[in-house]
């Protein structure tokens, strides 16, 4: 493998293709290989669909399958296997781009790949191209200020222990809960019990089926994977 092997981690944003940065688009026009993460059960990739119009026709596109499991051993094996696949395709100094929804360093499969590659093949060079996050897009859609003055903002995941939210959310000014599809009934109950906070729910931002709920009680019991909640302090 050539020492000039390089991988760009590219955030493609939450859903609208015109939210890709100029830098992301320019890199996609130049790289030799584009990698897109997908479930090991199918080869569909949201990030690839968003970025597809900016990828050259002669660019090689490779879907890397990742199992939807929390088994660390199974995940580790998948990360290592996909690193090997990427290295084989990037031999002789070719460049690659790994696509990810939102930003590459926030709850992203790219983060695991980069850390695994750094551990096994430290000679591989990485460059991260930041992307617009889903919660930035959500705040923009609602014209909701996320933080001001001396306020703080909690960024957390719906995959975390629901019991943790009751203590944590009462001690912050504003909060973002990504992956709000997981444990949603518990998250909704917790949100309804909070005093002095407005709660908004967003799903599939920038994609077909986009929905915004100003009332958490109106959200269907079963929510989409691409969902988040914004909790903000109510103005006096």
Percentage of the chain modeled with pLDDT above 70: 96
State the residue for tokens 């130049």.
30
pLDDT digits 0-9 by tens, 17-36: 999 999 999 999 999 999 99
More confident residue, 170 or 126: 126
pLDDT digits 0-9 by tens, 124-153: 999 999 999 999 999 999 999 999 999 999
More confident residue, 236 or 19: 19
Residue 154 confidence (pLDDT) above 90: yes
Check if the beta carbon of residue 204 is closer than 8 Å to that of residue 211. yes
Mean pLDDT for 97-114 is: 95
Residue 4 confidence (pLDDT) above 70: no
Residue 3 confidence (pLDDT) above 80: no
> Could you give the dihedral angle defined by the CA atoms of residues 115, 118, 121 and 127, in that order, rounded to the nearest 10 degrees?
100
**Model pLDDT, residue 235:** 60
More confident residue, 114 or 195: 114
In the predicted model, what is the mean pLDDT of the chain?
A: 90
**Model pLDDT, residue 2:** 44
More confident residue, 87 or 168: 87
Q: Which domains, from first to last, does the chain contain?
A: 6-129 (3.40.1010.10), 134-233 (3.30.950.10)
**Model pLDDT, residue 38:** 80
Kindly state the tokens that stand for 38: 């997908």
Band (41; pLDDT cuts 50, 70, 90): low
Tell me how far apart the alpha carbons of residues 113 and 48 are, in angstroms, rounded to a whole number: 17
Check if the beta carbon of residue 89 is closer than 8 Å to that of residue 33. yes
Where are the alpha helices (H) located in 1-155, listed in sequence order? 22-28, 46-51, 72-89, 109-120, 134-142
Strands 197-203 and 153-157: unpaired
Mean pLDDT for 211-228 is: 93
Percentage of the chain modeled with pLDDT above 90: 67
Tell me how far apart the alpha carbons of residues 57 and 44 are, in angstroms, rounded to a whole number: 19
pLDDT digits 0-9 by tens, 45-103: 899 999 999 999 999 999 998 877 778 888 889 899 999 999 999 987 889 999 999 99
Residue 1 confidence (pLDDT) above 60: no
């Amino acid at each position: 493998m050539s020492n000039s092997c390089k991988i760009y981690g590219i955030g493609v944003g939450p859903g609208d293709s015109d939210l890709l940065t100029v830098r992301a688009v320019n890199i996609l026009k130049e790289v030799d290989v584009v990698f897109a993460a997908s479930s090991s059960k199918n080869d569909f990739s949201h990030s690839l669909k968003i970025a597809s119009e900016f990828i050259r026709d002669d660019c090689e596109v490779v879907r890397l399958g990742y199992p939807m499991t929390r088994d660390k051993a199974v995940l580790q094996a998948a990360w290592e296997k996909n690193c090997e696949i990427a290295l084989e395709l990037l031999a002789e100094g070719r460049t690659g781009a790994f696509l990810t929804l939102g930003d590459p360093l926030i709850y992203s499969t790219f983060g695991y790949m980069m850390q695994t590659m750094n551990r096994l093949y430290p000679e591989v060079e990485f460059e991260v191209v930041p992307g617009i996050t889903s919660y930035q897009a959500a705040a923009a859609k609602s014209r909701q200020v996320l933080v001001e003055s001396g306020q703080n903002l909690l960024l957390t995941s719906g995959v975390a222990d629901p019991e943790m939210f009751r203590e944590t959310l009462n001690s912050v000014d504003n909060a973002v809960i990504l992956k709000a599809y997981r444990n949603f009934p518990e998250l909704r109950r917790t949100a309804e019990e909070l005093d002095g906070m407005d709660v908004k729910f967003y799903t599939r931002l920038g994609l077909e089926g986009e929905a915004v709920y100003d009332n958490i009680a109106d959200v269907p019991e079963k929510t989409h994977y691409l969902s988040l909640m914004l909790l903000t302090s109510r103005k006096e």
